[in-house]
Amino acid sequence: MDKKICWESFKAEANTVVERLKALIREGNVRRIVVEHDGKTVAEFPLTAGVLGVVVAPVLAAVGALVALLKDCTIQVERTEAATPAGAAAAAGPREAVDREC
């Protein structure tokens, strides 16, 4: 089965960003997290498949600290997904306001 790379982006809010990233990482297909401020990349954290929580915890702490300091950040998440038929993604149901590009 072919895999494709997709990007999701969302505005970071200091009080929810760590929990949101934990949920995304639990899905298991996150490859990279990028923190942007005013259109410029501030930090980039590569993740490999099967990373342990011990490895992810410092990344989440760093992202949380950056968001708290910079206030107006965008979080970009690179993920891999199995190629699906055109209508399958729409059937999955609504999600939070997220920009998605595959």
Query: Is position 48 within any domain?
Result: yes
Query: Is position 99 within any domain?
Result: no
Convert the pLDDT of each residue in 82-93 to its tens digit.
766 554 444 444
Query: Is position 72 within any domain?
Result: yes
pLDDT of the residue at 16: 83
pLDDT of the residue at 91: 43
Domain total in the chain: 1
Query: Is position 90 within any domain?
Result: no
99 versus 67: the higher-pLDDT residue is 67
What's the domain range around 69? 3-84
Query: Is position 17 within any domain?
Result: yes
CB 35 within 8 A of CB 42: yes
d(CA 95, CA 102): 16
Query: Is position 94 within any domain?
Result: no
pLDDT of the residue at 94: 43
Convert the pLDDT of each residue in 21-61 to its tens digit.
888 878 778 888 899 998 899 989 887 655 555 567 788 88
